[in-house]
A = this chain, B = another copy of it.
Amino acid sequence: MEKRIFQRIGLVGAGLIGGSIAAALGRRIADAALIVHDASPGNAAYVAERHPNGSTGQFADMADCDAIFVATPVASIPGQVEALLALGGDTLVIDTGSAKAEIVSAIAASGVDAARFVPGHPLAGGISTGPGHSTPDIITARPFVLTPSEATAPAALTKARALLETLGAHVVEMDAEAHDQLLARGSHLPHLIAFALAEFAEEEVRDLLPASFRGISSYAASDPRMWADIFRANREGLAEALETFKKRLDLIAAMADEPTPGNLLETLETAKARIDALENDA
């Protein structure tokens, strides 16, 4: 009977993730009201209008919500979660930021009671940003990581899990550090690679750059402000992933300098097997 528990939902941040959460809510619990807030009133209205029961509103209008999603840029999440928790009541607050440890520690440092806050992150991924690309499919049937902190009340975690499962998400629980390492390796480093590789895309050689260069560097077409925020928020996880990655690059390059190809070939074969397994899994 999850649908009865959630009659009124808040959404702060009407970008791609917020818009997709709204779309999933509209499909799965259409009768629950949705109150949408965004720094851009146009984005808020765009998302609210596409929900069967949506309207725009301010933080104060969300005080009696059963749950509020915070889907704003990662640098502004702590302040917004703190403000929403300060409204009091019984409202569950779930964020969607891509770097969890920094968000959790900033909120802990603020002194607010974070029992009703469940740190989260939908593994939605993609280059497009903005509510115009929203789709429930990046929430439904996709992993949604929850990283409860020491402050998170077990009841809040249970409630968050119930709401996300109602939306069809695959809920995965892990601690913030494990999440940040996973995302550093799986998303933040890949984007850093793309931004760094872009340096080679000089105008004189642009027509001659092969498909592999284009495919890998295409992730640097992502929103620079969003990625500046994420790299800063998860700078420790990113630095650790980068060190491991550079060692691996050096190791393979050094093997290319050995008199016989054995080690190099074996290493490339192992890598290929891992990626074949990844692709067959998808």
Contacts and interface: CB of A to CB of B under 8 A. Distances in A.
A153 interface: no
A151 interface: no
A205 B182 contact: yes
Interface residues of A, number: 84
A172 B279 CA distance: 36
A27 interface: no
Contacts of A242: 249-250, 253
B199 A275 contact: no
Contact of A195 (B199, B207, B225, B267): B267
A197 interface: yes
Nearest to A251: B196
A209 B275 CA distance: 11
Interface in A243-267: 244-246, 248-250, 252-253, 255-257, 261, 264-265, 267
Interface of A: prevailing SS: helix
A39 interface: no
A271 interface: yes
A59 interface: no
A271 B220 contact: yes
Nearest to A205: B182
A218 interface: yes
A72 to B, nearest CB: 16
Contacts of A133: none
B275 A218 contact: yes
Contact of A214 (B189, B199, B200, B278): B278
A274 interface: yes
A109 interface: no
Nearest to A239: B253
Interface of A: 123, 125-126, 143, 145, 172, 182-183, 185-187, 189-203, 205-222, 224-225, 227-229, 231-232, 235, 238-239, 241-242, 244-246, 248-250, 252-253, 255-257, 261, 264-265, 267-272, 274-279, 281-282
